[in-house]
Amino acid sequence: MKNFFIILAMKVLNIILKICGKHGGNFLGKVAFDWNPEIFKYFKVTCPVIAVTATNGKTMTNNAIGSVLNTAGKKIISNKEGNNMETGILSTLLKSCTLSGKINADYLVFEVDEGYVPVVFKDFRLDTLVILDFFRDQLDRNGEVESLILKINDFLKTYTGNLLLNNDDPNVSRLGLANPDNKNVYYFSVDRYQYATNDMKEAGEGKFCPFCKTRLEYEYYQYSHIGKFKCPNCDYGNNKIYKQAKNINLSEMSFEIDDVLYKIKSNSIYIIYNFTAVVACCSLYNIDTKYIQETLANFELNNGRLEKLIIKDAPTVINLAKNPTGANVSLRLLNEDPDEKELLFVLNDNKADGFDVSWIWDINFDSLNNVKRVITAGTRGYDIAIRIKTAGFDENKIEAYLDLEQAVYALYSNTTKKYVIANYTSLQPTRKEILKLK
Ligand SMILES: [Zn+2]
């Protein structure tokens, strides 16, 4: 009875919020969760529940899986706006359930914050968990990446659903051994791409075997610590691969899985990893590859995740980077592009960003390829300017602004190609300033 009234109250509250023009975000879930922390048990779900977690790439992968299922004619419920903690997922469920807690959909697809997987799915069924990667991320908020992995490992000890893991991330593929009785562990991988290297070029974790502590041996690195590795001592890393992307073609923007060609709208290796996870996840549910092809050929997030725009005749790529790997992936794309370009880096240190900006020293700014000018902005715009100068970039070509509007105005004083990197709270304000010029 109590849960019935909680749901009723939240539905009324949702209507009031809507009338006031508010979206609700995490709010409904927060109120309901405070009222009854076990409310997740109350929902009656008969359809498959899919969750995506990672340090980077959750939103894109989650939304792409949802889009494929939509294209295949399935009704999905998803937290597409990225409210990915227990309160955000609960809000999504509260908005879509009946008063008796029944949820009518063909699939539930959720992006879940790495730290909240055990919280959300303690009392809520989970059929497929997709894990993309683990990187160092906002140390002052999240702590060491190892403690996060151990938390998920503990959760997985009793989990028997589908577990879809990135075999090329040693931090992720180790989780396949968390429950030796789980027969539903699947690994995905991406074959060597043209800019893979023999040495690690960027900050990375997981240099040692989690089982026998021997140093891992890499055949190649794709980016950060993602690559083809194995433990020379205990053979860790030698898994049977369920889906592997091959023939990665960045200029054609395509890859192949099981001889099916996927055309995409991006030339980033990082996105090909996300989409390989999408293909693998959808094939677990026997979704016809034609729906996946059709969706990926048109899929773009357009919310500052490798978003491409033309502003005042200048081709522009905007990307979120809230940790070193996110920034390094953007810079990799910039460096793989031979054209002349300019970089705008916006760095804030608001609460949601973490107050500690020391992570910028793990960004690889060495040898920026054909970058003619760097502009920095944000509450820590001077810190990032100093970081880039220290990496050896000519200081006369660096302009630091405290005012974002001025920075963006200066950036578009010419039509040279632009790469824009912004961290968490600076991303949307930066987009807004840029879109004003469109
Ligand atoms: Zn080992």
Check residue 354 and give its pLDDT: 85
- Of the listed ranges 27-31, 126-130, 427-431, the least confidently predicted one is 27-31
- Separation of 339 CA from ligand 1 center, angstroms? 43
Check residue 139 and give its pLDDT: 67
Radius of gyration for the alpha carbons in the chain, expressed in angstroms and rounded? 22
- Separation of 231 CA from ligand 1 center, angstroms? 5
pLDDT at residue 144 tops 90: no
> Could you tell me the CATH number of the domain that includes residue 23?
3.40.1190.10
Which of 298, 318, 335 finishes a domain? 298
Distance (Å, whole) CA 347 – CA 320: 11
Which of 236, 266, 298 finishes a domain? 298
- Separation of 233 CA from ligand 1 center, angstroms? 5
91 and 213 part of one domain: yes
pLDDT at residue 43 tops 90: yes
In the block, tokens 């706006």 appear at 81
Rounded-to-10 torsion of CA 424, 429, 432, 434: -80
Average pLDDT of 363-390? Answer: 96
281 and 329 part of one domain: no
- Separation of 194 CA from ligand 1 center, angstroms? 28
Distance (Å, whole) CA 329 – CA 324: 9
- Separation of 98 CA from ligand 1 center, angstroms? 50
Length of the chain: 438
pLDDT tier for residue 82 given thresholds of 50, 70 and 90: confident
Helix axes 86-96, 2-19, angle to 10 degrees: 90
Check residue 192 and give its pLDDT: 97
- Separation of 202 CA from ligand 1 center, angstroms? 23
- Token pair belonging to 391: 């990496």
254 and 312 part of one domain: no
DSSP letters for 316-344: EEEEE-SSHHHHHHHHHHHHH--S-EEEE
pLDDT tens column, 172-193:
999 999 999 999 999 999 999 9
- Separation of 172 CA from ligand 1 center, angstroms? 15
pLDDT at residue 206 tops 80: no
- Separation of 208 CA from ligand 1 center, angstroms? 8
* Boundaries of domain holding 185: 2-298
293 and 313 part of one domain: no
Better-scored residue on pLDDT, 302 or 20 = 20
* Mean pLDDT of the residues in the chain: 93
Check residue 165 and give its pLDDT: 98
In the block, tokens 């891992």 appear at 216
- Token pair belonging to 379: 């509450």
81 and 53 part of one domain: yes
- Of the listed ranges 1-15, 55-69, 143-157, 336-350, the least confidently predicted one is 1-15
CA distances for 255 relative to 248, 258, 275, angstroms: 5, 10, 10
pLDDT tier for residue 140 given thresholds of 50, 70 and 90: low
269 and 391 part of one domain: no
Check residue 299 and give its pLDDT: 95
237 and 348 part of one domain: no
Check residue 203 and give its pLDDT: 75
- Token pair belonging to 58: 């959750």
Average pLDDT of 188-201? Answer: 93
- Separation of 396 CA from ligand 1 center, angstroms? 48
375 and 351 part of one domain: yes
Which of 279, 298, 317 finishes a domain? 298
257 and 377 part of one domain: no
376 and 414 part of one domain: yes
314 and 392 part of one domain: yes
- Separation of 235 CA from ligand 1 center, angstroms? 6
Contacts of residue 291, defined as CB under 8 A and 6 or more positions apart, other chains included, come to 68, 71, 72, 282
Number of domains in the chain: 2
Average pLDDT of 85-113? Answer: 94
pLDDT at residue 322 tops 70: yes
At CA 134, angle to CA 319 and CA 137, rounded to 5? 60
- Separation of 210 CA from ligand 1 center, angstroms? 7
- Separation of 157 CA from ligand 1 center, angstroms? 20
- Separation of 175 CA from ligand 1 center, angstroms? 14
- Separation of 30 CA from ligand 1 center, angstroms? 42
In the block, tokens 């593929």 appear at 173
139 and 184 part of one domain: yes
pLDDT tens column, 150-174:
999 999 999 999 999 999 999 999 9
- Of the listed ranges 84-93, 196-205, 414-423, the least confidently predicted one is 196-205
- Separation of 200 CA from ligand 1 center, angstroms? 19
> Could you tell me the CATH number of the domain that includes residue 348?
3.90.190.20
